[in-house]
Chain A
Amino acid sequence: MRRLLFLCTFLLPVLMALAQSRTITGKITDENGNAIAGATVAVKGTKTAVLTDADGNYSITAEKNATTLVFSYVGKAPDEVSIGNNTVINTSLKAEDNTLQEVVVVGYGTQRKRDLTGNVSKINGEATRNVPVQSFDQALSGRAAGVSVMIPNGVLNNPPVIRVRGISSINLSSFPLVVIDGVPTFVGNVGTASNPTSTGVTAPNNILADINPSDIESFEVLKDAAASAIYGSRASAGVLIITTKKGKQGRAKVNYDGWVGFTKAMNLLDVLNAEEYVTLKNEGLTNIGTPPNGTTRGFYLQTGPDGKTIDTDWYDYIYQTGMSQSHTMNISGASDKTSYYFSFGYTNQEGMLKKNTFKRLAGRMNLDHKVSDRITIGGNFTYSNSSNFAPNSGSLPTQAFNTSGLGRLPLVLAPNVAPYNPDGSYNINIAGNTIGQGANLTALNFTNPVMILDLNKFSAESDRILANVYADIKLLKGLNFRTVFGIDYLNTLSKEFQNPIHGDGTNTLGAAANLQQRFQRQNWQNLLTFERKLGESHSVNLLLGNEQQFTFNEGWGAQRRQVGDSYFDEYQGGYVLIVPSFTSFPNSNFLGESYLVSFFGRLNYDYKKKYFLSLNARRDGYSAFAPGKKYGNFGGASAGWAISQENFFKNSALANVFSSFKLRGSYGQVGNINGIADFASYFLFTSALYGSQSALFYSQAGNTDLTWETSKKTDIGFEAGFLNNRITVDFAYYNNNIDGLVLNDPQSPSKGVAFINTLPTSAATLAGGVVPVNIGRMVNTGFEFTVNTRVVSKKDFTWSSNFNIATLKNEVKELASGNADIFIATSGLERPSIIRVGESIGSFFAVRTNGVNPANGRRIFVYRNGEQVQFDLSSPVATRWTYLDGTTAPRAPDQVSDGVLIGPALPTWSGGWENTFRYQNFDLNILLYFSGGNYVYNGTKAGLRDNRNWNNSTETLNRWQRPGDVTNIPKLVFGDNLSNGSGIVISENVEKGDFLKARNISIGYSLPVSVLQKAKINSFRVYASVQNAFVVTGYTGFDPEVSSNGNNNGSPSVDRNSVPQSRTMTVGVNVGF
């Protein structure tokens, strides 16, 4: 009875309400009149809410006494309409005015941008959607202030150089931590190298390309300590958070994105033709006193079988117009309980280099399901298969001086010889392992690229599973527990075949290597969040978390040598010998593991949305450090003041100008372990062979005091909106003080410790004995400035413009060994880069040159004491170096003692400017990327002016010939490789690196709604775009956007025998059903 009574008392009002309710219908559109599907319509003050259908229509039942309907939709400003007596209410939702309302993803959670006190840049996923790149990170340049994304060159899938507020380490990684859907992922170029952050594989394999760029909803870059300290020991280089797409409320939507494109090399430099080559090289021979004599020396034209003089443009044999395509299909949607997003992507891209291809097949499933009011579960699953084929481009780190590198070959190969003999066979000289001589009598010494392109193969293929599952449990009101388990499993197979006849494979008589590498990561996070509003004024958000990350990696392989038959070019074919991979590929044999355990917490508090405070703390334990040094503490604090919320502000005249104004500041300490070897603190003996006997030798000098690099980050800034937020401005000053840099403390080589039996890449390892020690310090400071404006927003025409610029001043403060300079080698040979206290890291260091002496055509060098000396290879050894008055100089200048610091290699300013125009159904987007204030070492130019048998650039036609000639090209003396800078790094080859580049220009047309409705499709857009449309620069090489040393910290902006950038033109469609 009582139950019945209860039921009645409960049901009665409901029934009454039903009886007194009314139905309201209507349609919701956007400002352009397009229907909005999935918008929420709610009766204010009740739980009653419905969603609009695909055509934007809704129907809602409201109580009689309901007064107001609330309309809302993601990205639109909510609208409230009083019901009155209306039964039909149509409304148009405008784009959310206030960008500060945006939700941004932060570490282990989300926050409204309005409430943020940390410095976070958000980049919309649209930025990478239609761009002809291999990996999403290549499409991020110029998008956010302080986030520099540089493409090293035009080799497909070469990892870009990403720096958030500058370089954050010398020996460890300066690449930001990349977190995909909450799980930290592997980054870098994975192939024959020992770990994901190092390099050495011929086919570059940026494993971020395993993610389909179309699947990305948004990027968030955490730049300061307040935002990134929650990632503790991994956040020193900033954090790049990637969130993939989820299904949105409404019926299933199908989207197809497809494009096809054509890629060509950009800005190839002109080199001498056959006739010019013969003239200039013979002039060189004459000038050294050994003129061409027709019998034993000299360069000569020859006639091909067609009766014409052979004049080979080697570019034709190395570069091509590559065709690329990409197709992505996704299906997404959501009910009130379940949301889903499925996608499938396929891309097949050809590079500007022959035999350079990239293919990816990727599938993704993102699912979220509300099991009950308390429990939500879900997860993401991605599988991808990426395969990279690349010839030996000579353009990756360590490759710059490869004798068969394709960046250099077309520049230096003699144009008066042909790739093929008249009978169609390859034109080669077997004994010298060079291209055939043709009619030349003086020896040539580069290989025939055509044969190598045809017969050699290099590939890296990855299988990748990225997946996570989570459960979210509401424990109490405001108290949530979330557990997430994620895996990142990467298997890479690198393959190489080198033919036995020509090129690098001749020593091994033909060899195939297969190298297998596995990287596995498991990451488990447990998060407890508490969110509560205390009274009207106080909001509190507390996060407590635990994270454990276990990483395992191993690599092994073998090389088979002496191929049994020319038919075979795979490892499984017939060979005579087998040798373990590490004989030929240092670092290919490895086995390691690491474990990171973390405890962290964050407290966000605000008072009336005026005063904001955020505190976070993290304690990390890492396995690579010795007992007693395993744990490190990190944390940060930040505060914000929304002045525009203050009454005095609102009531002042300022309110007429500023629609919003917030000051913020933060300070904190984060760490860096990215790049610390798994067993860095251990003292190790390594096994080796002595003939057929096994052996052990001391190989690693450990350091039990080794610990984290720390970065103390300060950030002060403001964000302001003008004219009802039509213009928003974000300004920040930052200072990153990086301390305890892990440096290879060079030990006296005579101590003989920690022997590393590979060709070293820096002076530190050159020393022979190095011990990693926390000893260096470096500071990055700068300003960031961002302006976003909606310049015009009319119904038929909109123009929005986003501009950002950041400055960077890097200064090395302390180094090992009493602040000894560190010279960083490019590919183990040339050392144009120096790390010196008081200077920007990797600044250029060269012997000063002072042009060409018009009297005798000799290059003028400058000693450390300012004395000028000139060089002439044709003089006897003792008198090659003379003062300008002709008296003998005592010595040759050398880089270490005569070198001077030329200037920074790191750009001191960089940024982007994006303009988007829409006129009716047309859209036009122009993204400019600029950078400068730095120098670029144009080592390629040294090669292009080399006086050995190498071909030269056409500028050498302007060489010195007779007294009085004023020119920048010295007298040609055959064999001279000093005057041009090949043998010694000279200031002549260090150039300003300022540039402005049109990174992407695209123009699109969307079908109007009326047509779409007839065709029963949601959206249809066609577009054409140009990636790397043009570059404006005074730099004389291919392109000042270059990095022969890839992501290497200490040697940026080096241009040494790299291939240029590529230009890609695409046409594509975006269709939604």
Chain B
Amino acid sequence: MKSKIIILVITAGALFSCDKSKLEPNPQADLPATEAFATAARAQQQVNGMYVMLKTSFFFGSRFVVYGDVRGEDFLNRTNNGVTGLQTWNFSATPATNEVQYVWRDAYACINQCNIVLERIDEAPITDALKSQYKAEARTLRALSYWGLLTLYAKPYADGNGANPGVPLRLTAEYSTGNNSMTRATVAEVYTQILADLNFAETNLPLNNGSAELNTTHAHRNTAIALKTRMLLAMGRNADAITEADKLVPATAPYQAATGVAHRLEPNVASVYAPPYNTLESIFSMPFTTLDLPGTQNGLANYYMPGPVGALDYTLNTAAAGIVSNASWKATDARRAFVGTSGTSTVWRKFPSNPHTDYVPVIRYAEVLLNLAEARVKQTNTVDTRAIDLLNAVHRRSDNTTTYVPGDFATPAALLAQIAIERRIEFLGEGLRNFDIMRNLQPFPPKGTAPVVTPNANAYIWPIPQSELFSNPVAQQNPGY
């Protein structure tokens, strides 16, 4: 009888057994949110996380850069592949087009990671100085992300002084459901925020991050200043652009930043694009390693290089409109070394590495020089000699057979045109062409089978993605979509 009782007790026990600890497991491969800022090292990693999000394949890591070029006239689409930007190239993007949705998604993912850092960095056991520095990095990347969005989804500032709809201005961290609705701030409001962020960054970023690599891959004070020259130029605030640029550019050659990281032009342009990619010219670049590669069908090399390195989605436009045919770009120019051929195609080889570990520039010292040159011409409305000197600095670095002199330019506009051509040569493949056309309210010239697109055409800017309008219908769609 006793044994029966024992068996019954065991049975009863078996019927109610439960391993409570297994009901509340901890993920071992991901970090729960409660742990996210618990140590100094984690705070640093969270900051790095913002850069990861900036560097995604649809953003500054590759495709955003590609779209910035192929909307312009210098490239022709070869593969007719809808996945690799065809609709952006020929201006047929719709609210459902992949890149229209993904660039938006990636930009805001970066913005939210910045906002999370801004909101939670105070929890981390680190010095106040470091907290301020991290916040400054967050605001730098947030500013850059908003700029990226404006260049594609909103009308340029020059069109109505920024009164047109910009993008939703998200400044607080989001973690879960709710807060879906937000209207679009105006372009001017977004630029105001961008400048506020960059001004904060300038004040709180360190002068120097301590190594060439960190100076290239993390923001420091000159990064914020350099970005400001770009923003102010876009806003037509040429005097302010000059003020900012002058912080980095001495009055006369040799041009080298006097404070912070001593930015200058590399003597040989090729070394900017060669390992280790962290020259003094590279103010900010997106790093890649063999363990951190762009994904499939990403990577600039995938778009511009022939097989086996890439898919050669885009070839250089050898028609008259294309920069590769421009007479200013002489055979003696060192930058011609980036032009190659594959079969009957002319191809762009600035980013040739396989695996695709070439760093992708975000901003270089050469841009600061040309931004300053342009701002001076526009501000003074003269054939400004300092502007010509800056143009020569960039041009003669690669082609010392040509020296521009004031006599070459009958009007300030002629000088501006030459600066624009220099930018197309210098920044080819670095994604600035779309920005340069739009901020000057120029039409996109026709190329191949793609049509001309004038500033008042609907296709001049992308639509707001359908995925945003699904859950945020108060965000107003751009005209014509």
- Determine if chain A interacts with chain B: yes
Which A residues form the contact surface with B (CB < 8 A)?
A: 430-433, 445, 473, 475-476, 481, 483, 500-501, 506-509, 526, 528, 544-546, 548, 550, 561-562, 577, 579-580, 583-584, 589-595, 597, 599, 621-623, 627, 630, 678-679, 682-703, 745-753, 755, 757, 763, 766-769, 771, 773, 817, 820, 829, 877-878, 892, 894-896, 948, 975, 983
By a CB distance below 8 angstroms, the chain B residues around A508 are 355
B25 touches which of A593, A690, A695 (Cβ 8 Å): A593
Taking a contact as CB atoms under 8 Å apart, the answer to whether B292 and A691 are in contact is yes
Residue of A432, A679, A693, A763 with most chain B CB atoms under a 10 A cut-off = A693
By the criterion CB–CB under 8 Å, are A747 and B17 in contact?
no
A-chain residues with CB within 8 Å of residue B467 when the two chains form the complex: 746, 749, 763, 766-768
Cβ contact of B174, chosen from A678, A696, A752, A767, cutoff 8 A:
A752
Could you say which residues of chain A place their CB within 8 Å of the CB of B108?
A: 749-752, 768
Q: Which of B451-470 contact A (CB under 8 A)?
A: 451, 465-468, 470
Question: Is A690 a contact partner of B287 (Cβ separation < 8 A)?
Answer: yes
User: Which of B11, B110, B465 has a CB less than 8 Å from the CB of A528?
Assistant: B11
In whole Å, how far is A870's beta carbon from the nearest beta carbon of chain B? 18
Q: Are A751 and B32 in contact (CB under 8 A)?
A: no
| A475 touches which of B4, B57, B94 (Cβ 8 Å) | B4
Chain A residues with Cβ below 8 Å from B471 are 746-749, 767, 817, 820
Cα(A170)–Cα(B344), bound, Å: 50
| B49-A695 in contact (CB<8A) | yes
Q: Are B30 and A702 in contact (CB under 8 A)?
A: no
Contact status B45-A583, CB under 8 Å: no
Interface pair A697/B53, CB less than 8 Å apart: yes
**In the complex, what residues of B have CB within 8 A of residue A526's CB?**
11, 14-15, 17
Name the distance in Å between B92's Cβ and chain A's nearest Cβ.
Answer: 8
> Does A768 contact B104, Cβ atoms closer than 8 Å?
yes
> How far apart sit A767 and B98, CA to CA, in the bound complex (Å)?
11
A432, B287: Cβ atoms closer than 8 Å: no
A400 to chain B, nearest CB (A): 13
Residue pairs across A and B with Cβ atoms less than 8 A apart, 23 shown, are A431-B343, A432-B312, A473-B7, A475-B7, A481-B14, A509-B308, A545-B15, A579-B291, A595-B23, A623-B25, A630-B23, A688-B49, A691-B287, A696-B31, A697-B46, A746-B470, A748-B180, A748-B181, A751-B179, A752-B110, A755-B109, A766-B467, A768-B102
Chain B hits for A481, CB < 8 A: 7, 11, 14
On whether the beta carbons of A685 and B33 are closer than 8 Å, the reply is yes
Cβ of A931 to closest chain B Cβ, rounded Å: 32
Q: Which of A546, A562, A592 contacts B14 (CB 8 A)?
A: A546
Indicate if the CB atoms of A692 and B18 lie closer than 8 Å. no
Check B217–A767 contact: CB distance below 8 A: no
Residues B27 and A684 in contact, CB atoms below 8 Å apart: yes
Using Cβ atoms and an 8 Å threshold, which residues of chain A touch B45?
687, 694-696
- Cα separation A365 to B53 with both chains bound (whole Å): 54
Contact of B465 among A550, A697, A749 (CB under 8 A): A749
Closest B residue by C-beta to A697 = B49
Cβ–Cβ contact B80 & A948, under 8 A? yes
Cβ contact within 8 Å between A689 and B292? yes
Q: How far is the CB of B275 from chain A (nearest CB, A)?
A: 12
Cα(A956)–Cα(B217), bound, Å: 55
Besides A591-B28, A695-B48, A750-B170, 11 more A-B contacts (Cβ < 8 Å) are A506-B307, A579-B293, A685-B36, A687-B30, A688-B52, A699-B30, A749-B105, A767-B468, A768-B102, A877-B449, A895-B96
A-B contacts counted at CB < 8 A amount to: 298
Determine if B49 and A584 form an interchain contact, defined as CB atoms under 8 angstroms apart.
Answer: no
- B397 CB to closest chain A CB (Å) equals 27
**Which residues of chain A have C-beta atoms less than 8 A from B466's C-beta?**
896
Residues on B with C-beta less than 8 A from A580 are 291
For A757, the chain B residues whose CB sits under 8 A away are: 56-57
Report yes or no: B451 in contact with A878, Cβ–Cβ below 8 A: yes
Q: Is the CB of A577 within 8 A of B101?
A: no
Give the distance to chain B from A678, nearest Cβ to Cβ, in Å: 8
Quick check: B182 and A696 within 8 Å, CB to CB? no
Instruction: Return the contact of A431 from the options B50, B92, B182, B342 (Cβ within 8 A).
Output: B342
Task: Tell me the minimal C-beta distance from B27 to chain A in angstroms.
Answer: 5
CB proximity to A under 8 Å, residues B260-285 = none
Q: For A561, what are the chain B residues with a Cβ–Cβ distance below 8 Å?
A: 355
Q: Is the CB of A752 within 8 A of B109?
A: yes
Q: Is A599 touching B112 in the complex (CB atoms < 8 A)? A: no
Most chain A CB inside 10 Å of its own CB: which residue of B14, B110, B296: B14
Bound: A433/B308 CA distance, A: 7
Check if A577 sits within 8 Å of B112, measured CB to CB: no
Residue of B nearest to A430 (CB): B307
B186 shortest CB reach to chain A, Å: 16
Query: Do residues B307 and A433 form an inter-chain contact, with CB atoms below 8 A?
Result: yes
The smallest C-beta distance from B381 to any residue of chain A, in angstroms, reads: 37
CB contact list, B2-55 vs A, under 8 A: 4, 7-8, 11, 14-19, 22-25, 27-33, 35-36, 42, 45-46, 48-53, 55
> Contacts A690-B48, A690-B52 known; A584 to B296 CB distance under 8 Å?
yes
- By the criterion CB–CB under 8 Å, are A702 and B17 in contact? no
Could you tell me the distance in whole angstroms from the C-beta of B240 to the nearest C-beta in chain A?
29
CA distance A528 to B10 in the complex (A): 11
* Complex CA distance for A147 and B87, rounded to whole angstroms: 44
Cβ contact within 8 Å between B28 and A696: no
Closest residue on chain B to residue A501 by CB atoms: B308
Contact (Cβ within 8 A) B48 A694: yes
| Minimum CB distance partner of A526 in chain B | B14
Measured in the bound complex, the distance between the Cα atoms of B403 and A946 in whole Å is 53
Q: Specify which chain A residues have a CB less than 8 angstroms from the CB of B110 in the assembled complex.
A: 752
On whether the beta carbons of A445 and B79 are closer than 8 Å, the reply is: yes
- Bound-state CA distance A678–B28 (Å) is 11
Task: Decide: A877 and B49 in contact? CB cutoff 8 A.
Answer: no
Of residues 436 through 481 on chain B, the ones whose CB sits less than 8 Å from some CB of chain A are 449, 451, 465-468, 470-472, 475
CB A261 to nearest CB in B, in angstroms, measures 38
Given contacts A690-B52, A691-B217, contact A597 B18 (CB under 8 A): yes
A752: B residues at CB distance < 8 A: 105, 108-113, 115, 170, 174
Report how far A752 CA is from B471 CA in the complex, Å.
13
Closest 6 CB pairs of A and B: A752-B112, A691-B287, A768-B105, A695-B48, A697-B49, A683-B33
Report Cα–Cα, A483/B19, bound state, in Å.
Answer: 17
Are A697 and B308 neighbours in the complex by a CB distance under 8 Å? no
Give A603 to B224 CA distance when docked, in angstroms: 73
Question: How many angstroms from the CA of A579 to the CA of B112 in the assembled complex?
Answer: 29
A983 to chain B: which residues have CB within 8 Å? 82
Bound together, the chains give a CA A500 to CA B307 distance in angstroms of 11
B17 touches A689 (CB 8 A): no
Q: Which residues of B contact A697 (CB under 8 A)?
A: 46, 49-50, 52-53, 113
User: Provided the pairs A506-B308, A767-B470, A817-B470 are in contact, do residues A683 and B101 lie with their beta carbons within 8 angstroms?
Assistant: no
Which one of A689, A698, A769 contacts B113 once the chains associate, using CB atoms below 8 Å? A698
CA distance A895 to B96 in the complex (A): 9
Report yes or no: A696 in contact with B48, Cβ–Cβ below 8 A.
Answer: yes
Q: Which of B19, B27, B55 has the most CB of A within 10 A?
A: B27
Give complex CA distance A686, B52 in Å.
Answer: 11
Residues of B within 8 A of A975 (CB): 80
Whether the Cβ atoms of B19 and A698 lie closer than 8 Å is no
Q: What's the Cα separation between A1001 and B252 when bound, in Å?
A: 91
Contact B180 A544 (CB under 8 A): no
Query: Which of chain B's residues have a CB closer than 8 A to the CB of A767?
Result: 105, 467-468, 470-471
Please, which residues of chain B bring their CB within 8 A of the CB of A589? Answer: 29
Chain B residue at minimal CB-CB distance from A768: B105
Q: Are B112 and A548 in contact (CB under 8 A)?
A: no
Most A Cβ at <10 Å: residue of B42, B102, B110, B342 = B102
B83 within 8 A of A: yes
Inter-chain contacts of B127 with A (CB < 8 A): none
For the complex, what is the distance from the CA of A627 to the CA of B31, rounded to whole Å?
18
CA distance in complex: A817, B470 (Å): 8
A528 and B7 alpha carbons, distance in the complex (Å) = 12
Q: Which of A476, A597, A750 has the most CB of B within 10 A?
A: A750
Residues of chain B lying within 8 A (CB to CB) of residue A686: 30-31
Q: Is the beta-carbon distance between B470 and A703 smaller than 8 angstroms?
A: no
